[in-house]
Amino acid sequence: MQWTVLIVCLAIAIPCARAESEESAADQSPRLIGGTNAPWGQFPSAVSINTTFNLHCGGAVVDRQHVLTAAQCLFNANQRLIDPYWITVRAGDIALAPVGARRQTRKVSQIFVHPQFNIRTLENDVAVLRLDRPYELPSNTINVANRTRRIVPNGANCQFAGWGASTAAVNAPVNVLQRFLPMTVNDRDTCNQASMHAGRMQENHLCAGNTGASNNAAPCNGNAGTGLYCERLLVGLLTFGINCGAANNPPVFTQVRFYNDWIDRQFNQTQGLSAGWTPAKFVVVLGLLALLHSSTRALPSDEAGPRVTGGTAALLGQFPSAVIIETPYIPQNCMGTVVNRQHVLTAASCVMNPTTFVMINPFWLRVIAGDINIVPVSPRREVRHVIRSYVHPNYNRLTDGNNLAVLRVDVPYPEFHNTIEPALLNARILADNTQCQFAGWGATQNQVTAVVRPNQFVITQPILTTASCNAANVHNNRVQQTMICAGALAQSQTAVCRGNMGGGLYCNGRLTGVLAFGMGCGVANQPGVYMDVRQYTQWIETQFTRTDNPPPGWTPPQPFTSNNVALMPLRYDAHAHVCLLDPIAGQVERFGKL
């Protein structure tokens, strides 16, 4: 491990929000280029916000009497909060003129700006407007936005519900309509490079749209605060990068999910901000920036590294709950899933000494989260040490029954993070052949001598019937009712190999299984077998509040007595590299090295 001290002198000169557009103040009609006219009701939460200062912004209905928008929209040229009396909000229409019969117009009675809004850097660029009276709902063209609470992965296809004429020409006749633009979510590092936003993007920002040459479909002035929608969920509010498709200037949005709790609290606030209020001044800091713990611990050798066959490289943030668990006894490591800000779910076999069958001291366990590569180290990576391990009390090391453990890490994960997020736990029975995804780690080759590409990969795994997996030539009745079988029965080029024990199977976006055995690397009749998370939800959540500490040297209950040892055949345990007595398999499957 290395400790690195970085002393950085920050010299930041960022233009004021009002300089975002180069168009004259005389023409403040909203504009965008490209896009498609929105039909009635396609974006029922989208609103148009106007002030008497000829300023136009967008926003979204988040409550019958409240609208969400960008804080920058509410300040005059002197960076003073304008009087809410001068603000008008129009909802239920797809054109600013003529007035549609479905339009509902409201005045603003109170303004609530995020207390950490920075008018120069546009951090925390969110505000809630309280209307003078609630909207009349239900309505065919007005509805409250459904806000996302989950990470939006890179590559997600979204829509920007903008306002304006379909031209960037300043002197063109203005016919202001609601138009939507398709936008793809970009990698933050790409947008933050020197040729684009040069480090201006913060953790609470999201970048979408064209990152390369000039673009013929992009928002122009008058669209700050307008919503980005992904799968019909409100994801972001446009905050900067509003330059009509100019090259290397993709739009940047404030992520709504970071502010959901704050937004909800404003609904019950009784006193809004006074006209003339000024946000906190921008401060330039000189000095010690950070102490960074660089994860330079020695990596496993190629032979011991985790592996998968086939699959697709995972995108950053696609599986924000997937983690790597480093152990001293299992050289290829294990996998796990963040299920709570301070707890990780994995297989019980990952925390047991494979020779003595005694639980490993938590001190020796390390969890790596927030990254899709083992090397190089991402600046978003969070490394934690385990302080307590809770193994299921009925774990059976021979049959892999109840093969689950919950690990408590020393420091909680950040509440808001773009590459770390607790998994949603599946609570439903899944139909056979449901298409699921396994978030695995390792090389994409089966040969032990191949060079390891230690990346996160996504492997599609259909749910199989328990009966087919319990056939004599497959798992021979080893799959229990508390398990799920997934993968392929025939030889496959896409499968899970070693080093992925404890990894998560995700179905419909929810954690459904924890890999227990069956890492056959595509060999016929060796599909993966997972513990069914649905049947252990109560036990998992109970571990979050436990205060006891399992005693050192704890071992699970003995699964058999000396009287029947002679009847037990041997089984190769793929994750421990030893041969074990197996009361189920009835044959020696494979021999490994001690």
312-330 pLDDT, tens digit per residue, is 788 878 899 999 998 776 5
Q: How far apart are CA 166 and CA 74, in angstroms?
A: 25
Identify whether residues 255 and 320 lie together within a single domain. no
Q: How far apart are CA 543 and CA 387, in angstroms?
A: 13
Question: What number of other Cβ atoms are within 10 A of residue 500's Cβ?
Answer: 28
Identify whether residues 246 and 318 lie together within a single domain. no
Which H or E run includes 378? none
Identify whether residues 186 and 318 lie together within a single domain. no
End-to-end Cα separation, the chain, in angstroms: 29
158-207 pLDDT, tens digit per residue, is 999 988 765 545 555 556 788 889 999 998 888 988 889 888 898 889 99
> Which CATH number do you get for residue 196?
2.40.10.10
Question: What number of other Cβ atoms are within 10 A of residue 39's Cβ?
Answer: 10
2 inside domain: no
**264 vs 556, which has greater pLDDT?**
264
Q: Residue 247's domain spans which residues?
A: 32-267
Question: What's the pLDDT band for 558 if we cut at 50, 70, 90?
Answer: low
* Ranges of H-type helices in 288-403: none
Domain boundary (235, 267, 299) is at 267
To which residue do tokens 């000189």 refer?
A: 286
Identify whether residues 261 and 324 lie together within a single domain. no
Question: What's the pLDDT band for 245 if we cut at 50, 70, 90?
Answer: confident
53 inside domain: yes
What is the average per-residue pLDDT within 520-536?
A: 85
7 inside domain: no
102 inside domain: yes
Q: How far apart are CA 247 and CA 216, in angstroms?
A: 10
Identify whether residues 122 and 234 lie together within a single domain. yes
Identify whether residues 319 and 459 lie together within a single domain. yes
Question: What's the pLDDT band for 117 if we cut at 50, 70, 90?
Answer: very high
572 inside domain: no
255 inside domain: yes
Identify whether residues 217 and 355 lie together within a single domain. no
DSSP for 335-348, please give it.
EEEEEETTEEEE-G
Identify whether residues 257 and 321 lie together within a single domain. no
Identify whether residues 343 and 397 lie together within a single domain. yes
Question: Does the pLDDT value for residue 27 go beyond 50?
Answer: no
Identify whether residues 333 and 254 lie together within a single domain. no
585 inside domain: no
Look at the chain and report how many structural domains it folds into: 2
Mean pLDDT, the chain, integer: 78
Domain boundary (543, 563, 581) is at 543
Domain boundary (499, 525, 543) is at 543
301 inside domain: no
What pLDDT does 454 receive?
A: 63
Identify whether residues 316 and 252 lie together within a single domain. no
**321 vs 579, which has greater pLDDT?**
321
Identify whether residues 329 and 407 lie together within a single domain. yes
What is the average per-residue pLDDT within 354-383?
A: 83
